[in-house]
Amino acid sequence: MKVIEAKDKNLTFNVAIVVSRFNRDVTEKLLSGATARLKELNFKNEQSTVVWVPGAVEIPLAAQRLAQIGVYDAIICLGAVIRGETGHYQFVCDQVSQGCQHVALQNDLPVIFGVLTTDTEAQAMDRCGGAHGNKGKDAVDTAVEIVSVLRQIV
């Protein structure tokens, strides 16, 4: 039996990070976690590009454009959608998650979903460097692992 799993944990490649400006106090921390992890993994500055978009709904469109230019081996999507008093939250979460998945499948490219979908701002803060770590950092680790796996599937 052949088993494929991430072998090269020190793999570097071209990566784009799409970040939502909405809830910027959270998303800046997610981005800081991601860029710090890239540095820890010895990614060079020229191997990463950061693209800021207005809100979470715009993330998939920017990810799609980045995927289409064929320069990046993975795209990391970072954002924070925090539940409010209306049903808007669910529409945004659905659009962003489905949009990112669509971009990944249509372009045969890892599109990492690092968009927080929380009930409260406190929960979001816990996930951007607080009690639950930094999901931006985790998104980089996910990107490295899936790129390693996909490179082995031939």
Q: Report the catalytic residues.
A: 88
- Pairing mode of beta strands 15-20, 48-53: parallel
Cα gap 130→128, rounded to integer Å:
6
Cα gap 154→46, rounded to integer Å:
28
Q: Which helix (H) or strand (E) holds 42?
A: none
Residues 6+ apart with CB under 8 A from 10: 41, 42
